[in-house]
A and B are shown apart, each in its own frame.
Chain A
């Protein structure tokens, strides 16, 4: 079954420290992976998707098919990065266009 796992509910780091938000997926097909971010009282926004290979707000994520992971990384965390982060898997085929979300990780960046 398709599944996205974000093992950490809460991740707390100090400003300037590196941050890594973990995401593992289970999917037999070719995965399409996304990271969405939800700042306080705002809507979910796309942060990045693996196919674009972009770096947004200093965040990067690399798809590792061997480890079925798509961890989100940033070398120096900023206070404004504090938010909920959701990893999502896009499905092809019968549920075309559907996103399976992980339960999210709350990132707290302390001054």
Chain B
């Protein structure tokens, strides 16, 4: 499968903990985007990386951070987790050209208890 992949599919953890979500972009794509989908806020853009460098930041909390590695996979780190962080986290990738189509991964469902 040459599409966007995300691991894990599901993650259950406790408040105060730290988790890492992983994303592998489509082959050839240089840009990776992270989105948070919750019932009340809908789909919210968090952050974008292009070829290893941060390109754009959205509504990302200071407790959250991300990075893109030389092999272009990306990780989203969520720390000091709160109940309200429970959501579906999507990764998307694109070639990185201006407003190119973004292709989404299946998402990671995070549950904070």
Contacts and interface: CB of A to CB of B under 8 A. Distances in A.
Given A96-B98, A98-B48, A46 B31 contact: no
A92 interface: yes
* Secondary structure of the A contact surface, majority rule: mixed
A32 interface: yes
Contacts, number: 63
Interface in A53-111: 86, 90-92, 94-104
B42 A97 contact: no
A97 B96 contact: yes
Interface of B: 4, 31, 33, 35, 42-45, 48, 50, 55-58, 90, 92, 94, 96, 98-107
Interface of A: 32, 34, 36, 42-46, 49, 86, 90-92, 94-104
